[in-house]
Amino acid sequence: MIPDVFFEITLIFALTILICGIIKMLKQPLIIGYIISGIIAGPFFLSLTNSIDTLSIFASMGIAFLLFLVGLNLNPKTIKEIGKISIITGVGQVLFTSILGFIICQLLGFSIIESVYISIALTFSSTIIIMKLLSDKKDLETLYGKISIGFLIVQDFIVIFILMFLTQNLEGGNIGETILYSIAKGIGIFFVLGAIAWWIIPKITNFIAKSQEYLLLFSIGWCLIISSIFHMFNFSIEAGALIAGMMLSFSPYHYEISSRVRPLRDFLIVLFFILLGSQMVFGDIFNQIPIIIILSVLILVGNPLIVIILMGWFGYTKRNGFKAGLTVAQISEFSLILITVGIKLEHLTIEILSLVTIVGIITITGSTYLILYSDKIYPYLSGFLSLFERKGKKIDEHKYQKENSYTIVLFGYNRIGFDVLKALKKINDKVLVVDYDPNIILQLYNEGIDSRYGDANDVELIQELNLHNSKMVISTIPDLETNIILLRQIKLKKKRPMFLSVATQFEDALELYKSGADYVIMPYFLGGTKVSSMIEKYKFSTKEFTKEKSEHIQYLKKRQKECKDPDLKY
């Protein structure tokens, strides 16, 4: 006989698969599908969530493993890499949003404790969702992408301390002394666990990693043990899981651990969000619509505006400020976790969870579309955004060019542009390279190559480059929409330069030719042609293939040395 809870979870997952299929077609994060599935499976509709105690255990473990994996990517060494602006915007946005949110919540009639929880919950943005969206857009290596991930990491560190101190017993006695005692206790735990992470964990995992199965077992056990230790010291289990992950981030095998634990995390976290959706209360929801709208506008408009103002004040361009700002236009899974912890501590009611969850659905949906279509939205807001841009030279312009116009302009260096540039320099000295990775631009500058930081989607940049004086424009960016934008701008010129671009699909190549491209490079087919000619020329000559192999190895070593991107794809 199938246990009731097994059958119940089966039905819930069947429903979730259907709902998430629709969400996927709408290009939305699946977290929205999980919550909606929970609402439908809950008591207001299908009443499938009857085994609440069992589901709650799974959900709690899901939160723990979610935070454990976040911790795996929060190596403190990354603080050196994210830069001053990430720390300023991360802390600044949290402070401004929490203060403004608290004032708004007080004006809306919430109690002080409710206002504190809600205002703090509104400050955090989802690192997981943003990293997925930026990865899909191939913007992780852009300047705004790096800054965004940087201040999201700063927010995650802030979450650590909030979760650590949230469960402290502040009733009775002197609150100030209790807080100081908690801080001292927390610092002590950090030092002890930090020493273990730095000196012992790498040696342990070096031994354990010989067996991938044992590595998985150790990782799960480590997460549960550290979480339990934190619980014993009256800190939250969630904070313990996060610290457990951070400790293992020092291990050279943290990528393997992450890939092994992720499927378990994904299964359990689905149940957390489904349970969260099933617990939502809709009795007074219509009376709360004005509150939901106000809080959603604060996040969708207020949060990005804070980042735009801060980045503009510190000398960044309005474009980077705008695109970075959109990454904080939603609340995080941490926001919902924070509210659920508040309910466990009896600081909040279930109605607050329903309110924040609906705000979460609205803002995650809205910000997803804003981020995906930011390049199309930006031109309409460019004039208004000039209000927040400081006059004079910008920190992120990175212009290392001697001329006002160039015979050849190459968009994208760190793909096949490396080889193209070598050929271009042989036929013409007036070559300008445009790339969205500031590290690449600095590298080219040190090599004496004229270069400029910029995004090929930026129409203002394209217009500023004086392409009408160029004889050839080459794009090594394998994105159809980006190349179409470049082509349209080139067609506006009376004296039209030749346009060469890259495509990875037959349909994209034909579309580019239809739009007026002079030649479309297809890297996969070029590689096949090269191998075919080698086989035809050398037949079964081991000597000739060994010679080609030696030359190829030398080329790859040189390319690897000059290329800063370990995940380079053509």
Instruction: Over range 305-309, report the average pLDDT.
Output: 92
Provide the pLDDT for residue 257. Answer: 83
Structure tokens at 195: 């020493």
What pLDDT band is residue 332 in, cutting at 50, 70 and 90? confident
Q: What is the pLDDT of residues 4-47, one digit of tens each?
A: 778 888 888 899 999 999 988 887 778 788 888 888 888 777 88
Whether 306 contacts 122, CB under 8 Å: no
The per-residue pLDDT for 181 is 60
- pLDDT score for 47: 82
Residue closest to 77 by CA, chosen among 314, 252, 310:
252
Mind spelling out the 3-state secondary structure of 259-277? HHHHHHHHHHHHHHHHHHH
User: Rounded to whole angstroms, how far apart are CA atoms 378 and 250?
Assistant: 40
pLDDT for the residue numbered 61: 84
Q: What is the pLDDT of residue 297?
A: 93
Among 38, 12, 33, CA closest to 23: 33
Tokens of 505: 């699909």
> What value does the CA radius of gyration of the chain take, rounded to a whole number of Å?
27
**How far is residue 407 CA from its own chain's centroid?**
37
pLDDT at 184 over 80: no
Query: In this predicted structure, what is the pLDDT of residue 345?
Result: 79
Quote the CA–CA distance of 149 and 133 in Å, as a whole number: 11
Confidence of residue 546 (pLDDT cuts 50, 70, 90): confident
Position 415 pLDDT exceeds 70: no
Can you read off the two tokens belonging to residue 405? Answer: 């116009």
Q: Where are the beta strands (DSSP E) in 305-419?
A: 399-400, 408-411
Average pLDDT for 446-473: 82
pLDDT given for residue 519 in this prediction: 87
Q: What is the mean pLDDT of residues 240-266?
A: 80
Q: Provide the pLDDT for residue 570.
A: 38
Which tokens in the block code for residue 91? Answer: 């802390």
> Does the structure show a pLDDT above 60 at 569?
no
Compute φ and ψ for 433, nearest 5 degrees. Answer: -105, 130
Fold of 399-562: Rossmann fold (3.40.50)
**Of 226 and 273, more confident:** 226
Of residues 508 and 400, more confidently modeled: 508
**CA 25/CA 428 separation, integer angstroms:** 47
Give the pLDDT score at 565: 45
Query: Does residue 2 carry a pLDDT above 60?
Result: no
- Please answer whether residues 395 and 314 qualify as being in contact, where contact means their C-beta atoms are separated by less than 8 angstroms: yes
pLDDT at 485 (0 to 100):
85
Burial class (CB in 10 A: 0-12, 13-18, 19+), 498: middle
Which single residue is written with the structure tokens 């006002």?
404
CA atoms within 13 A on the CB side of 289: 2
Asked if 116 and 102 count as a contact pair (C-beta separation under 8 A), the reply is yes
Residue 170 pLDDT class (50, 70, 90 cuts): very low
Which of 21-35, 161-175, 344-358 shows the lowest per-residue confidence on average (mean pLDDT)? 161-175
pLDDT at 299 over 90: yes
Whether pLDDT at 529 is above 50: yes
Does the structure show a pLDDT above 80 at 135? no
Q: Is 173 helix (H, G, I), strand (E, B) or coil?
A: coil
Q: What is the band of 81 on the pLDDT scale with cuts at 50, 70, 90?
A: low
- What is the structure's pLDDT at 173? 46
What does the pLDDT look like over 188-243, one tens digit per residue? 666 776 677 667 777 777 777 778 788 888 888 888 888 888 778 766 677 788 78
Mean pLDDT, the chain, whole residue set:
79
In the chain, CATH 3.40.50.720 sits at: 399-562
Note the pLDDT of residue 67: 76
What pLDDT, on the 0 to 100 scale, is given for residue 148? 85
In Å, what is the CA distance from 327 to each residue of 45, 74, 151, 205, 397? 34, 19, 10, 35, 21
pLDDT-based confidence at residue 172 (cuts at 50, 70, 90): very low
209 against 294, higher pLDDT: 294
Residue 321 and residue 564: Cα distance in Å, rounded? 25
DSSP letter at 390 equals: P
Higher-confidence residue: 403 or 65?
A: 65
Task: State the pLDDT confidence band at 304, using cuts at 50, 70 and 90.
Answer: very high
Which of 103, 97, 139 has its CA nearest to residue 122?
A: 97
H-assigned helices in 122-174 = 127-136, 143-166
